């Protein structure tokens, strides 16, 4: 966390720099199946974050030595586009991107039924087109949708959200300025139906009561995002059904 140039992150009414309450998510938009070339894809806008996720597989492992005899191997690449941040970022993978690639993969592995596809790989790509804080959690939410869109058997969808601490107060879904100048950050990924946490990290210092309250705030936000994920999937297949029904209707000749 960075506090070199602290700014006022809460006003007199307790509202944040973007006008949200402390327990309020940023506006979220989810869309599924937007890439024709990938087996599955999803797009998320959360605040000013714009993130694209794509899935290829399951397919034959290449190179062959990475294959496992009893399950599929999930590979993940988290990448920030050079234009995704204020100052141009090098297109070469950074240490942070390598770390978050591992974090996202490990957050999703518990839900994917990898044992159904031995000796294969499932490749997952998370591309950050515009970053505004919380891109790791938004990336997990989108990547889970992309896996579902690819038709890969899963126990359930995984949703993720972070809670942080700004000016001594717990705040949900931190924006970029809150993430950089806040006092703590607690990213959480969650499987609501199974009541399982698949990601729990913390940067900064929280008391035990603050940690418990923050974790509960994040879990409730994940449940809300999970409902949005389900709706996004339903919307895609509703549109497919409407198109199919239109094609089946006989033409009426006047």
Please check whether residue 5 lies inside any domain of the structure: no
Task: Show the domain range for 230.
Answer: 28-248
Please check whether residue 148 lies inside any domain of the structure: yes
- How far apart, in whole angstroms, are the C-alpha atoms of residue 37 and residue 125? 13
* DSSP code per residue over 47-79: TTEEEEEEEEEEEE-SSGGG--SSSPEEEEEEE
Please check whether residue 1 lies inside any domain of the structure: no
Please check whether residue 8 lies inside any domain of the structure: no
**Is beta strand 73-80 parallel, antiparallel or unpaired with respect to 120-130?**
parallel
* Per-residue model confidence (pLDDT) at position 14: 83
| Least confident piece of the model among 55-59, 180-184, 224-228 | 180-184
Please check whether residue 13 lies inside any domain of the structure: no
* DSSP code per residue over 100-132: HHHHHHHHHGGGB-GGGSTTEEEEEEEEEEE--
| Confidence bin at 9 (pLDDT 50/70/90) | confident
Task: Say whether pLDDT at 159 is over 60.
Answer: yes
Task: Say whether pLDDT at 4 is over 50.
Answer: no
Whole-number mean pLDDT of the chain?
91
Please check whether residue 20 lies inside any domain of the structure: no
Q: Mean of the pLDDT values across residues 95-111?
A: 96
| Least confident piece of the model among 21-25, 37-41, 149-153, 244-248 | 244-248
**Beta pairing partners, 73:** 121
Task: Say whether pLDDT at 84 is over 80.
Answer: yes
* Per-residue model confidence (pLDDT) at position 249: 65
Give the domain CATH number at 141.
3.30.230.70
Residue 236: what are its φ and ψ, rounded to 5°? -60, -50
Please check whether residue 129 lies inside any domain of the structure: yes
Exposure letters 130-157 (e unless 16+ CB within 10 A, then b) = bbbbbbbbbbbbbbbbbbbbbebebebb
Task: Say whether pLDDT at 119 is over 70.
Answer: yes
Encoded tokens for 41: 């894809």
Residue 156: what are its φ and ψ, rounded to 5°? -175, 175
Q: Could you say which DSSP state residue 19 is in?
A: S
**Is beta strand 73-80 parallel, antiparallel or unpaired with respect to 28-32?**
unpaired
User: What's the pLDDT tens digit per position in 214-246?
Assistant: 999 999 999 999 999 999 999 988 877 777 777
**Token pair 């397919």 is at which residue?**
59
Please check whether residue 180 lies inside any domain of the structure: yes
**Rounded to two decimals, what is the model's pTM?**
0.90
Task: Say whether pLDDT at 5 is over 80.
Answer: no
* Structural domains counted in the chain: 1
């Amino acid at each position: 966390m960075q506090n070199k140039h602290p700014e006022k992150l809460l006003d007199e009414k307790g509202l944040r720099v973007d006008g949200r309450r402390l327990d309020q998510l940023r506006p979220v938009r989810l869309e599924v199946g937007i890439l024709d070339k990938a087996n599955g894809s999803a797009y998320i806008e959360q605040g000013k974050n714009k993130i694209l996720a794509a899935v290829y597989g399951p397919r034959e492992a290449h190179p062959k030595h990475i294959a496992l005899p009893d399950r599929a191997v999930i590979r993940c690449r988290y990448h920030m586009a050079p234009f995704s941040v204020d100052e141009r970022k090098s297109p070469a993978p950074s240490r942070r991107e390598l770390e978050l690639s591992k974090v996202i993969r490990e957050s999703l592995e518990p839900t994917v039924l990898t044992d159904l596809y031995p000796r294969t790989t499932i490749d997952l790509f998370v591309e950050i087109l515009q970053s505004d804080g919380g891109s790791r959690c938004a990336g997990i939410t989108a990547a889970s949708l992309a896996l579902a869109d690819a038709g890969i058997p899963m126990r359930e969808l995984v949703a993720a959200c972070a809670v942080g601490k700004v000016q001594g107060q717990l705040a949900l879904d931190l924006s970029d300025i809150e993430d950089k100048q806040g006092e703590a950050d607690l990213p959480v990924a969650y499987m609501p139906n199974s009541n399982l946490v698949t990601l729990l990290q913390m940067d900064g210092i929280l008391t035990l009561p603050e940690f418990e309250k923050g974790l509960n705030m994040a879990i409730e936000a994940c449940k809300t995002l999970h409902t949005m994920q389900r709706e996004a999937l339903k919307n895609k297949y509703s549109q497919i059904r409407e198109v199919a029904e239109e094609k089946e209707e006989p033409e009426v000749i006047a």
